[in-house]
């Protein structure tokens, strides 16, 4: 497992340990609780997870503290797993 994925697993564990956080993530991303297990191993899932956390600065800071990472390292992992889209 590479570093961004390891950070992602830690983030997912934190979200999953709090039903309110997990519910908000599911609601905001349009995922369904019953299909979460089916898509958790896809690159799109990890991109959505990081995009969700990075887009909410208070959550980013909170999660970073809980998993003993810096917000900057989480943002760097997000960039590796969810590169920017360029429009022409």
Domain segments of the chain as ranges: 3-80
The reported pLDDT for the residue numbered 85 is 63
The reported pLDDT for the residue numbered 34 is 77
The reported pLDDT for the residue numbered 17 is 95
Model pLDDT for residues 27-46, shown as the tens digit of each residue: 888 888 777 778 888 888 89
Once rounded to an integer, what is the mean pLDDT over residues 2-12? 90
- The pTM score is 0.85
- Helices 19-29 + 3-16 axis angle, to 10: 110
Question: What is the distance between the alpha carbons of residues 63 and 67, in angstroms, rounded to a whole number?
Answer: 6
1, pLDDT greater than 60: no
- Burial of 7 (C-beta count, 10 Å sphere; 0-12/13-18/19+): buried
Higher pLDDT, 17 or 35: 17
């Amino acid at each position: 497992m590479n570093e961004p994925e390891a950070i992602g697993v830690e983030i997912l564990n934190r979200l999953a340990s709090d039903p309110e956080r997990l519910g908000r993530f599911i609601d905001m991303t349009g995922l369904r609780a019953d299909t979460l297990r089916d898509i958790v191993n896809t690159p799109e899932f990890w991109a959505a997870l990081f995009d969700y956390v990075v887009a909410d600065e208070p959550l980013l800071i909170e999660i970073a503290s809980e998993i003993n990472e810096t917000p900057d390292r989480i943002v760097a992992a997000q960039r590796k797993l969810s590169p920017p889209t360029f429009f022409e």
